[in-house]
Amino acid sequence: MRLTNKLLPGAVLFCLVAVSPIAHLSEAGNKTSGTILVQDALTTPGQPTRIEVRLSNHGLLTTKALGGEPLDLLVNGEIVGTGMTGGDGRAFLPYRTKTQGVIPIHVRVGTQSRVSTKEGVANLAVWEQRNPIVVIELTALMKPVTAKSPSPDIDLQSLSQQKPLPDAAGEIAKLTQFYYRVIYVVSLPSSATDRFRATVEARAWLKVNDFPPGYILMLPPGEETLGAKIDELHQEGWKTIKVGVGRSKAFAEAFLKRRLEAVMLLKSTTDSAPRRAKIAKDWKEVRKQL
């Protein structure tokens, strides 16, 4: 008995229809898992800025940069900029806006990306350069530790467990409601510290503890880094940076050496401060000093 092949086209069609969804699922499942981390940015209305982003894959022991991947920058759910990651996994996404304030920004992978990941988020501070700015050391927002001399460095491993000082969030909200803009300074413990992850941790801690949004500034270790950054910002036109509120001597001295005001939150009456620094025991007193 000879078999007929009249049903072969139908059989082929059936096979293609049946296999197609499986192939699609297989392709989606082969995407690399990635993480998008975004740095805050500072600019003025109408001036172009660049949002720094890093896309990487985090394994158990190593972190691998993911280069050659398209990225979309979103504001209010709309794509406002695009870019491509380089070999180091970083990209700089251009953006310009006349809208003022602290604007939430989102970054996601493009539709043709080989990576599967959640969106990365950050803040874009768009301020007039005539607006007064207060610079706050992140440790000045936290209840002091038991160490004799408060360190300006942040313990990123236990940051989520740090408790805010009473009234700190409320007093800063009053300062920023009608007058000041705020820059939060984070001093990194070492040159090997991941500043992208440190920014994410600091931003999450500020949000959970109801602090007003601002511009998070990550600084490498070293006593002179804050002073150099103040000089740089002044040269860029941010001359209304005139006062800093901190807990460490190095932070206060960076302002005092430039004939700027500094307010220090002391842990106890036995702690010392630079001679020209203003002293406050809590954030209610800090607001009176400004």
pLDDT at position 186 over 70 = yes
Tokens of 119: 């969106």
Q: Are residues 99 and 231 in the same domain?
A: no
pLDDT at position 187 over 70 = yes
Q: Are residues 112 and 158 in the same domain?
A: no
Q: Are residues 117 and 146 in the same domain?
A: no
User: Cα(215)–Cα(228) distance, rounded to whole angstroms?
Assistant: 17
pLDDT band at 11 (very low <50, low <70, confident <90, very high): very low
Full domain range(s) for residue 116: 33-126
Number of H helices, E strands in the chain: 6, 17
Q: Is 152 within the bounds of a domain?
A: yes
**Which of 89-93, 164-168, 171-175, 266-270 is the least confident region?**
266-270
State the DSSP code for 36. E
pLDDT at position 231 over 60 = yes
Instruction: Tell me what pLDDT residue 159 has.
Output: 81
Domain count of the fold of the chain: 2
pLDDT mean over 241-251: 94
Q: What is the percentage of the chain residues whose pLDDT exceeds 70?
A: 83
pLDDT tens sequence across 112-150: 999 999 999 999 999 999 999 999 999 999 987 654 444
pLDDT tens sequence across 42-74: 999 999 999 999 999 976 667 899 999 999 999
> Across the strands, what pairs with 216?
184
Q: Is 5 within the bounds of a domain?
A: no
Instruction: Tell me what pLDDT residue 69 has.
Output: 97
Q: Are residues 148 and 87 in the same domain?
A: no
User: Cα(119)–Cα(107) distance, rounded to whole angstroms?
Assistant: 5
Q: Order of strands across the sheet with 261-265?
A: 215-219, 181-187, 133-137, 241-246, 261-265, 278-280
pLDDT at position 153 over 60 = no
The overall average pLDDT reported for the chain is 86
pLDDT mean over 63-92: 96
User: Cα(199)–Cα(217) distance, rounded to whole angstroms?
Assistant: 8
Instruction: Tell me what pLDDT residue 16 has.
Output: 35
Helix ranges restricted to H, the chain: 8-29, 168-178, 195-208, 225-235, 249-256, 283-289
Q: Are residues 122 and 137 in the same domain?
A: no
User: Cα(90)–Cα(185) distance, rounded to whole angstroms?
Assistant: 23
pLDDT tens sequence across 22-40: 333 333 468 889 999 999 9
Hey, how many other C-beta atoms are within 10 angstroms of the C-beta on 111?
7
Query: SS3 of 260, please?
Result: coil
Q: Which CATH number does the domain housing residue 47 bear?
A: 2.60.40.10
Q: Are residues 121 and 142 in the same domain?
A: no
pLDDT mean over 166-195: 92
Q: Are residues 45 and 165 in the same domain?
A: no
pLDDT at position 18 over 70 = no
Instruction: Tell me what pLDDT residue 272 has.
Output: 75
Sign of CA dihedral 224, 236, 198, 102: positive
User: Cα(12)–Cα(10) distance, rounded to whole angstroms?
Assistant: 5
